[in-house]
Structure formats: C-alpha cells, structure tokens
C-alpha cells in the first residue's frame, strides 16, 4: 500500500482525537493534546501499522511573553513512512501520560524524555534513573535550553526514584529496576530462582556522554566528527545518517559517485561489525579459537578500510555534500582480493555455527523471540530478521546507492539464537556481493558539491540501516550555523525490551549468550550484573567475566 | 646419610625444585603450542616463571568474612599434595623416589586433593558462586576423578600389582598398553584434562584458568600456589599416563619424548573445537567415561582369568 | 643487603615480564576498546610480552582504561582501581581519556581519567592503532625498568 492510502486510513481512524494533520512525502504529522494522546495512540495501534521508533522532546526555550512550550514527538515507522504524533505542553508544567499501555516498548524512551527533558510522564512505574547518574541533581534537565553546566554539579547524594508514583498498568516492563532500594548500580539486574531467571532489567547511562546537547554547541560541519564517535564500531553509519539529514534540510544532493562511495563504506563497515560480533559471541561461549580466527580475518577488512581512508576506525569519509576520498582502480582491486579471502573464511564459519554440536547446544532453541513478540516489542535489525520480521531500511526505504544496487534482506524463521548467527553470516555474503557490484559499476562524476554553512529552517528525520538495525536521527534547524536539536536513537535501544523479556524463564548460564545475541552496542568488558536470589536478602555482584565463565562451565562440565 | 639423600630427593630432585621447574617448563610448552594452533606467536620461555614470581611478590587481599586459616592454608595443601604425588611416579624416567604396595591409590588420591581444595576454597568465599561453586567442583570430582582412577587400574590389573614402579616395569616389557587397552588410554587422557579443566572454556589467551569461582578471591601467593599446583599435577598426570600406556619410562629420553608427545595431543585437543572437541556434561562423562573404563577392566579381568598373556 | 637487592631485582623483573591487564571502559565509543582487543588477536598478539587479560581486578597489575569518564562510570572506575592489589599501574588509552576528546564540554563527562585515578601512561589517538597501544605498554614497562614509577601509580 502506498503511504498516501495508509495515511488516509490512519487519519480517519484517529481523527476524533487529533486537531490537525499534515503530510509531506513519506511523513504524516498529527497534532494532539496530552489528554487525547492515549486514545489517539490506542486507535492508531489497533490498525497494526508499524512500530514505535523514537520519542523526541523539543524545548522551544523561553518565548516572551509566555514561558514557552515543550513539544513531544512520538514517531511510528513502517518502511519509509513515518507517522508522528505531536503534543505541546507548557514549559512551566510539562506533563504527558505514558503510552506504555498500547505500546509497551515506549517505557524506555519515555524515561529518557523524563530524565533529560524534564517532562513528567504520568503512569510510568517507579524506578531509579536510567540514563543520568544517581548523583545528578534534581530538577536539572540537560536538554532544556536554559541548562548550564554549573547547575549539573553532583550533589553527592543518590536521587530519589523517578516516576509519578502511580501504579503501573497491566503491561510488563522489562526495563528499569523495580526495587528502588538497590545500592549498587549494575548494568543488569537479574533475579533468579535456583537456576532460572525470573526477572531481568537493565541500567543504562554508563556511556551517556551528553552528545545531543553537545551537538547544539557545535557547527553543522563540526558535528560530523562528533556523531562519528557515538559508536566506534558503526561510526560511518552514524555520520552518514546525520549528513543525509543535513543535506536534505539544506536542499543539497550529493553526487551519485559520492553516494556510491558512502555505500561501499557502509557495507564494509557492516562486514567488520559482523565479524567483530562473531568473535565476541564466540568468546562469550568459550570458543576462543573461533574468536582468534575471526578477529584475525577481520584484520583484512580493517586493512582495506585503512587503505581507502587512512584510518582503521573513524574513517571520516563524509563531507556535507559528498565524500573526501575516492575509490580508485588499485584500491578496488585490493578490496576485491580481500573480499575473496573473507568469503572463503566466512563459508567456513557458516559450517561451524550450523553444524558444531557443542556450539549448537548453546544456541539452538535458546533465547527465542517469536515473530509476534519481535513485532510488538519493536525489535529491529538482524535480531528482528532472525525472527522472520522483514525490517531492513536498505530494502524498504532505499537511501544512498541502494536504489541502484538493491539489497536482498536476509530472513530466518527459526527465531532463536542460532538463527541470529546464521542471519548475520548470510548478511556478510550479501555485503560481499554488494561491494563487488558497486565497485564494478561505480558511477562516474565528482565527489562533492558545495554545501551552505547556514542550514535553512526546518526539521528532518533521517533513518538508515546500521549493522545492528534501524538508526533514527531527528534534526532541527532554526536557520543558523549550529543545529537547534539533534536526536539520536540507536538500534540497540529498540532491542533491549525484547531481549530482556525473553531472558525470563531461561537459565542463568544462557544469559550471556542471549544478551550478546542482539549485538548490543556498548562496551565489551565492564558490564556488571547484580544478582538477586530467591530467598536471599543480600545482593550478589558479579562481573561480566563471572557470568560468562559461569555459562561456560555450566555447559562444559557442570550441567547434568 | 639416607636422611640427606631423602631430603635431596624431597626438595631438589626428583621432587621439589625439579618438579616445580619442570612443570613451569611444561606450562610454557602447553601455552606455546596452543598459541601456535591459534595462529599466534605465544609466550616466551621464561613466562611461567615470571608469572609465578610476580604473583608471589604481589599484595594478597583477603576478602572479608572468610575463614583465614582455610583461605591461606588451602593453596598450600593443594600444592603440597601435588608435589607429594610427584614422589611416587617415575619422574624424569628414573625410579620413583619412594614406593610401596598400593602407592597407585595413594597417588591418585593425592592428585584428587587439588580439586577438593578448590571446592573448599569455593565454599569458603562469602559471595560469588559459594555453594553452587563448590558443588560444581565436587561433581567435577566424581565425573573425572573416578574414571581417571579406573583407567589407571587397567594397566595395574594387567601388571598384577598396585605399585607404580612395578606397573612401569611391566609396561616396559610388554606391548604398549595404548594398543591393548585403547579405551583406558582415552578415558585416562580425557580424565586428566577434565581434572585440570583444560578443554577450552577459558580466558582469551586460552591460558588455563580454573573456572569454579574459587580463584577469583585469590590475588598473590594463594593464586601462585594454586596455579603451580595445577602445573605440577599436569606433569605428574602426563608422567603416569605415559608410564602406564606408552610403554613405560626407562630413562630421561623416554620421559621427554613420551610426555611431550602427550602434551602435544592435549594442546591440540584444547585448541580445536568442532568435531574433535569432547566436552561432555558431567552426567554424560560420568556415565560414558566410567562405563568405558569399567568395560575395559572387565575385559582385562576376564582375559586374566583365562590366563591369556597380555 | 645484597640478598635484599637481588630479591628486589627479581621482583622487578617479574613485574616487567608478567604485566596482567584488566580493562575498563568508562564511557567510550568502543573504538579504543576494539583496538585493545585487537592487540590480543593473532596479528598483534600481546601474550608475547607476558600480557594477559584478566577478568577480575584482583588478578591484575595494570588497569587499561578508555573513555571520558561518564558520571555513572566514575565510581565504578574508582572501585575497580581500588580492588587491584599493589603494585598497580594505569594506562589511559584514547584522546577521550586525556581531555574528553571529541566530547570535551559535554555535560555528563569528567574528561581526564587522571582526575579520577593516577595515570602512568597516556596513549593519544582517536583511536590509537594497536601498535600505539603496544608502544604505550612498552613505555610503562620501560618506566618500571627505570624505576621511575612508584608502586601505587603516580609518577
């Protein structure tokens, strides 16, 4: 169905609760109020259209004579189309109801909104902070326009729980600690009954640096270098999403050759990311030989990236308006040779993950996320595709050179951890094919066109397919040299809800593999776990290494 | 005079220092082989010695709430047990320093002390794995130690004696028992690797690191002694298995060749996964391993009764 | 006294040749951490120098840390450092760990790891190559050999 037909249907269904709506290309924006938000979203949800992709908060700043307003945007996506509900609330007393009842995964996004923008979300269950540190002072909201660094000085005391204090609804919230009395902030909190996990939750915020705010202080160009460093593994895709958004706002179109070069880098980044994940996942299962070999092979793609751009990580290919580097014939030949080697090795890895008994024992049937769960809980990327949910922006909403060089999404219907391995390895083959094709038919032309220093007023949503799934950028300009708002929603944020709810009912020994199965984008070795045992009043603190070793010894020597 | 000789045997050769430096050398060979299998350069020859000395001079942090006597004593007991076991086996291909009827059983028991100490160390800690950790160590005891003992009984029955030096002598005279008792050999080798937790479920360098929760609490001397005790046990185990199954150890040349050959095989098994790796669950190995060993024993006993020369 | 000197030399020799690392990410983008892991992989193979990556700070001599120290990570960084038995040393990897790097001025970071724990060696780069990280480790060992570094970290 075309977006227009869909939008008509949607407008009709939610009509009674919406005061105004606008369409522009693939976007439908509807204004509603805090009181009518929940019925509007519920009616929308009944159409079973799309999934919640992000929630953006916008602070207008103080606007004379009133105090100004805060606008909250709820973005729902399906393929290229984006439906946004917009609610304006007064800055003096900003309050919206939680949409967690019709849309369970909203809870994590709403917490972020509450902590960073200071919007009171009624109906959110109590819990400690998710994104800001416990000693962050109360009533100081970093994303507000009047925020100053001095006001954020640590108070030295842990803050009281965030939340309105009302009883939660009947939906299950896998995110956020349920026990405000916790003293130790662990990355994960697991409650176990014997060997079985009965509750799992996550504490984010360890890598929260304040980038969205920092972006408002840096020029449009300077921000490319900031966005690149959101994640060292998928740095190029972040910069690409940002740059595509800015180019769209500025009305600049990068030339075809530039788009093709960007695509080559995107796919090569996907290759290095998946190989990295393969090694890390193998290490979690105790197969260190596979870890060593896959990382040795990964050096090939690192060398190629360095040959093309001069750096192994943070290649910095993007400019506003194009790319800095070209792929000449000599480089293209190196790339082809490297890919041939990698393809041979990848076939070997495929054989291992599909036929090695000891490996399968840890992955087959483990951590199964059904199609419906994946759909309802808003999962994205290979995690969703391994459950048969066909979400791949390169295919549904082609950007860069994907229109001319179409991708075949890799799907699997088995839904378990083994399927996630197979999907990522098959995606490697697909990426090899893509890079070769683009190199063979690289469009001629210039590498960049000029882009303005000041970007005209407007807002844009830029969505791309990172190695881990859909990456969502919202950009807003008020006509200056610096952005007014940059909102980034990384793919892993979408996948936590699914994986943590699925963790319940599994053995403790399976948890490391389940968590690593979504390819989480945070640091590798310092995640800590707080363990609560049924019948025990004290909490145990495990390091990630403890949990990993536990899983390995469970399967290799201790299990009966 | 004999007291002096006894002391020398105990402390320097073939016990004590010789065994300690020998096991460090074997740890080096093991790590180097595994590294090469993983396509890496691997450690330098003096690495295990440097690791040992460094741990000995490092600050020891005793966690709150543990029984200090047990905490400090268990590593010593584990090391002492392994070193004592070394006195009864044909170390360096020479006759064992001591021996008596039934010393095979005592030796295997001494080798079991290591796992027992680990289990107790795990139970001693206040958090972490605690009960589950030590339970796991004790189940390990049953799953690998028992088949290991049974596997060593096979050659013992064939030789008609419980004395290690005599079994060694018998093995030298006859066809290698790896040929006549292949099941026993397999069970013994896997049993040894299981006892030492060698099959790969380890830290990134594939260096052997005991996974039972006990060692996370130890930092300096205690860790050094446990690690050394494990290395010694590796050496003693390899010596026993080569003596029994690989045609006995008559002289140092035999010793070097046969034990290093076995080490090569274990390093290979540590590094390969896929079809060659045999990491079974406790239940499976306890059943399969013990059954195999028992079957082997039965065959032997029957043949012995029938008077067939082995 | 000669014995004392010999023992000290032996202790120093062992520390230089058996530096066990524990790794901590205080909020970095992972770029540096991936390159640190790459130094363990076959191409760079840190085990040649006696370096082993440990899971627990109690087994480590050197803390290798990355990141601009987010507010939430700060306390955990301190605790990781405190759990290490003496003598202990710190290598800070990446531009973020020196000044906050690309995130300088952002609201949730401390910036300089040296403001939280004493650092012996800084390895700049965004991220530094594995060769540079190995150079950082070697520089630390050289410092040890010259006995400039005092156990406990500060130089």
Question: Minimum mean pLDDT among A207-211, B88-92, B134-138: which range?
Answer: B134-138
Distance from CA of B252 to the nearest CA of A (A): 34
Q: So what's the pLDDT on residue B276?
A: 27
Q: So what's the pLDDT on residue A128?
A: 63
Domain extent listing, chain A: 1-127, 212-493
Q: How confident is the model at residue B200 (pLDDT cuts 50, 70, 90)?
A: very low
C12: left (phi over 0), alpha (psi -120 to 50) or beta: alpha
The tens digit of pLDDT for each residue in A194-229 reads 778 888 877 777 777 888 888 999 999 999 999 999
Of A214, A230, A526, which is closest to C29 when you measure between CB atoms? A230
Of A112-126, A412-426, B263-277, which has the strongest mean pLDDT? A412-426
User: Between helices A544-553 and A256-285, what is the axis angle to 10°?
Assistant: 60
- A78 DSSP 8-state letter: E
Kindly identify which residue of chain A lies nearest to residue C110, measuring between CA atoms.
A209
Per DSSP, chain B holds a count of helices (H) and strands (E) of: 13, 0
Average pLDDT, chain A: 84
B58 touches chain C (CB under 8 A): yes
Please tell me the total count of domains within chain B: 1
- CB contact (8 A) between residue A210 and residue C23: no
Return residues 206-235 of A near C (CB < 8 Å): 206-211, 213-214, 217, 225-226, 228-233, 235
A-chain CB neighbours of C30 within 8 Å are 231-233, 521-524
Cβ atoms A447, A260 nearer than 8 A: no
A1-127 has CATH 3.30.1330.80 classification: no
pLDDT of A172 strictly over 50? no
B-chain CB neighbours of A541 within 8 Å are 127
d(CA A326, CA A308): 8
- Let me know if residue B135 belongs to a domain: yes
B36 touches chain C (CB under 8 A): no
d(CA A197, CA A188): 12
- Let me know if residue B235 belongs to a domain: yes
Give the residue-averaged pLDDT of B30-46: 84
Chains with ≥3 Cβ pairs under 8 A against C?
A, B
B134: exposed, middle or buried (Cβ count in 10 Å: 0-12, 13-18, 19+): buried
Report the 10 Å Cβ neighbour count for A42.
15
Report the 10 Å Cβ neighbour count for A30.
24
Of A452-456, A509-513, B175-179, B192-196, which has the strongest mean pLDDT? A452-456
A409: exposed, middle or buried (Cβ count in 10 Å: 0-12, 13-18, 19+): middle
Q: So what's the pLDDT on residue B131?
A: 54
Q: State which residues form the domain around C30.
A: 2-145
Kindly identify which residue of chain A lies nearest to residue C66, measuring between CA atoms.
A523
The tens digit of pLDDT for each residue in C23-67 reads 888 888 888 888 888 887 777 878 788 888 877 788 888 999 999
With a pLDDT cut of 90, the percent of chain A lying above it is 49
- Let me know if residue B237 belongs to a domain: yes
- In CATH, what number is assigned to the domain containing residue C111? 3.40.50.12280
- C64 DSSP 8-state letter: E
- CB contact (8 A) between residue A295 and residue C41: yes
C-chain CB neighbours of B33 within 8 Å are none
What SS3 class is residue B108? Answer: helix
- Let me know if residue C152 belongs to a domain: no
- Computed over its alpha carbons, how large is the radius of gyration of chain A? 23
C71 touches chain A (CB under 8 A): yes
Architecture of domain A212-493: Orthogonal Bundle (1.10)
- A235 DSSP 8-state letter: H
d(CA A72, CA B188): 68
d(CA B190, CA A251): 69
The tens digit of pLDDT for each residue in A7-20 reads 999 998 998 999 98
A137: left (phi over 0), alpha (psi -120 to 50) or beta: beta
- Let me know if residue C150 belongs to a domain: no
With CA atoms as reference, report the closest residue to A165 among A175, A180, A155: A180
- Let me know if residue B296 belongs to a domain: yes
Residue to mutate among A157, A203, A218, A313, with most C CBs inside 10 A, is A313
A19: exposed, middle or buried (Cβ count in 10 Å: 0-12, 13-18, 19+): exposed
pLDDT of A447 strictly over 80? yes
B24 touches chain C (CB under 8 A): no
Higher-confidence position of A43 and B278: A43
Q: Edge-to-edge strand order for the sheet containing A51-59?
A: A20-24, A27-32, A81-90, A69-78, A51-59
- Let me know if residue B310 belongs to a domain: no
Give the residue-averaged pLDDT of B57-75: 83
Q: State which residues form the domain around B143.
A: 2-305
- CB contact (8 A) between residue A553 and residue B282: no
- C26 DSSP 8-state letter: S
Q: So what's the pLDDT on residue A375?
A: 86
Q: How confident is the model at residue A552 (pLDDT cuts 50, 70, 90)?
A: confident
- List, as one string, the DSSP characters of B117-179: HHHHHHHHSSSTTHHHHHHHHHHHIIIIIHHHHHHHHHHHHHHT-S-HHHHHHHHHHSS-HHH
- CB contact (8 A) between residue B199 and residue A556: yes
Question: Minimum mean pLDDT among A171-175, A214-218, A396-400, C5-9: which range?
Answer: A171-175
Kindly identify which residue of chain B lies nearest to residue C52, measuring between CA atoms.
B205
Give the residue-averaged pLDDT of A425-441: 96
Chains with ≥3 Cβ pairs under 8 A against B?
A, C
Cβ atoms B120, B226 nearer than 8 A: no
Please tell me the total count of domains within chain C: 1
- Let me know if residue B155 belongs to a domain: yes
Q: Where are the beta strands (DSSP E) in A225-286?
A: none
């Amino acid at each position: 169905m075309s977006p227009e037909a869909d939008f008509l249907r949607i407008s009709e269904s939610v009509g009674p609760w919406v005061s105004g709506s606008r369409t522009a290309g693939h976007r439908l924006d509807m204004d509603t109020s805090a009181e009518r938000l929940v019925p509007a979203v519920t009616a929308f949800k009944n159409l079973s259209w799309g999934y919640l992709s992000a929630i953006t908060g916008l602070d207008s700043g103080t606007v004379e004579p009133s105090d100004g307003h805060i606008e909250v945007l709820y973005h729902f996506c399906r393929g290229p189309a984006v439906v946004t509900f917009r609610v304006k609330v007064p800055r003096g007393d900003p309050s919206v109801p939680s949409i967690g009842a019709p849309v369970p995964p909203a809870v994590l996004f709403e917490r972020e909104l509450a902590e960073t923008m200071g919007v009171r979300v009624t109906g959110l269950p109590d819990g400690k902070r998710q994104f800001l540190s416990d000693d962050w002072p109360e009533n100081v909201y970093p994303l507000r326009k009047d925020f100053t660094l001095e006001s954020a000085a640590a108070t030295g005391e842990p803050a009281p729980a965030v939340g309105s204090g009302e009883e939660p609804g009947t939906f299950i919230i896998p995110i956020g600690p349920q026990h405000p009395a916790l003293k130790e902030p662990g990355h994960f909190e697991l409650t176990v009954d014997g060997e079985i996990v009965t509750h799992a939750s996550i504490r984010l915020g360890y890598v929260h640096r304040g980038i969205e705010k920092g972006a408002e202080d840096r020029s449009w160009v300077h921000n490319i270098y900031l966005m690149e460093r959101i994640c060292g593994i998928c740095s190029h895709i972040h910069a690409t999403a940002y740059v595509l958004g800015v180019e769209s706002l500025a009305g600049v179109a990068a030339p075809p050759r530039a788009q093709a070069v960007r695509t080559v880098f995107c796919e090569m980044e996907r290759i290095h990311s998946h190989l990295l994940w393969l090694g890390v996942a193998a290490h979690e299962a105790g197969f260190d030989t596979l870890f060593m070999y896959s990382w040795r092979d990964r050096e090939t793609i690192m060398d190629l990236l360095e040959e093309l751009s001069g750096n192994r990580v943070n290649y910095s290919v993007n400019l506003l308006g194009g790319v800095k580097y070209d792929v000449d014939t000599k480089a293209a030949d190196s790339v082809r040779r490297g890919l041939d080697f990698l393809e041979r090795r990848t076939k070997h890895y495929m054989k291992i993950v599909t036929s090695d008994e000891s490996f399968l024992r840890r992955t087959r049937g483990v951590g199964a996320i059904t199609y419906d769960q994946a759909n309802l809980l808003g999962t994205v990327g290979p995690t969703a595709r391994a459950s048969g949910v066909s979400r791949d922006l390169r295919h549904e909403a082609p950007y860069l050179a994907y229109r001319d060089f179409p991708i075949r999404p890799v799907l699997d219907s088995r839904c378990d951890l083994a399927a996630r391995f197979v999907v990522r390895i098959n995606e490697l083959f697909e990426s090899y094919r893509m890079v070769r094709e683009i190199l063979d038919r690289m469009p001629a032309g210039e590498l960049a066109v000029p882009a303005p220093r000041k970007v005209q007023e407007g807002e844009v949503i830029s969505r791309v397919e990172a190695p881990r799934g859909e990456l969502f950028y919202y950009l807003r300009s008020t006509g200056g040299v610096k952005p007014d708002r940059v909102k980034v929603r990384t793919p892993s944020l979408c996948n936590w809800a699914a994986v943590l709810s699925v963790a319940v009912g599994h053995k403790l020994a399976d948890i490391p593999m389940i968590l690593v199965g979504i390819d989480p984008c945070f640091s590798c070795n310092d995640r800590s776990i707080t363990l609560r045992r049924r019948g025990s009043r004290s909490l145990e603190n495990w390091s990630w290494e403890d949990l990993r070793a536990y899983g390995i010894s469970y399967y290799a020597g201790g299990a009966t | 005079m004999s007291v002096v000789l006894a002391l020398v045997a105990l402390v320097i050769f073939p016990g004590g220092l010789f065994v300690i430096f020998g096991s460090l050398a074997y740890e080096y060979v093991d790590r180097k082989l595994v590294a090469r299998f993983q396509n890496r350069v691997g450690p330098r020859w003096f690495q295990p010695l440097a690791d040992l000395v460094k741990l000995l001079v490092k600050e020891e942090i005793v966690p709150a709430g543990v029984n200090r006597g047990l905490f400090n004593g268990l590593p010593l007991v584990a090391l002492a047990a392994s070193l004592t076991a070394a006195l009864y086996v044909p170390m360096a291909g020479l006759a064992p320093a001591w021996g008596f009827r039934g010393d095979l059983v005592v030796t295997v028991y001494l080798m079991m002390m290591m796992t027992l100490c680990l289990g107790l160390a795990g139970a001693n800690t206040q958090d972490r794995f605690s009960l589950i950790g030590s339970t796991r160590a004790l189940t390990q005891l049953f799953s690998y130690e028992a088949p290991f003992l049974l596997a060593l009984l096979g050659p013992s029955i064939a030789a008609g004696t419980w004395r290690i030096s005599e079994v060694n002598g018998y093995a030298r005279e006859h066809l290698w028992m790896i040929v006549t008792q292949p099941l026993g050999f397999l069970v013994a080798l896997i049993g040894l690797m299981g006892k030492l937790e060698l099959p790969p479920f380890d830290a990134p360098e594939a260096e052997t690191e005991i996974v039972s929760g006990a060692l996370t609490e130890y930092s300096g001397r205690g860790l050094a002694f446990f690690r050394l005790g494990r290395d010694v046990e590796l050496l003693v185990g390899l010596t026993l298995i080569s003596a029994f199954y690989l045609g006995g150890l008559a002289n140092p040349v035999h010793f070097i060749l046969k034990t290093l050959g076995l080490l090569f095989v274990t390093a290979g098994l540590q590094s390969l996964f896929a079809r060659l790796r045999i990491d079974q669950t406790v239940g499976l190995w306890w059943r399969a391993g013990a059954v195999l060993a028992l079957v082997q024993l039965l065959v032997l006993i029957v043949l012995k009764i029938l008077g067939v020369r082995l | 006294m000669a014995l004392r000197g010999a023992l000290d030399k032996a202790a120093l020799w062992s520390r230089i040749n058996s530096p066990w690392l524990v790794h901590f990410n205080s909020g970095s983008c992972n770029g540096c951490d991936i390159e640190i892991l790459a130094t363990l992989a076959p191409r760079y193979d840190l085990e040649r120098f006696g370096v082993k990556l440990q899971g627990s700070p109690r087994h480590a001599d050197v803390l290798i840390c990355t990141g601009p120290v987010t507010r939430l990570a700060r306390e955990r960084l301190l605790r990781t450092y405190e759990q290490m038995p003496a003598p202990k040393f710190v290598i800070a990897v990446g531009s973020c760990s020196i000044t906050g790097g690309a995130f300088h001025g952002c609201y949730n970071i401390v910036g300089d790891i040296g403001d939280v724990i004493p650092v012996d060696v800084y390895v700049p780069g965004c991220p530094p190559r594995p060769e540079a990280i190995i150079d950082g480790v070697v520089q630390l060992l050289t410092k040890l050999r010259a006995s400039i570094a005092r156990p406990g970290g500060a130089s």
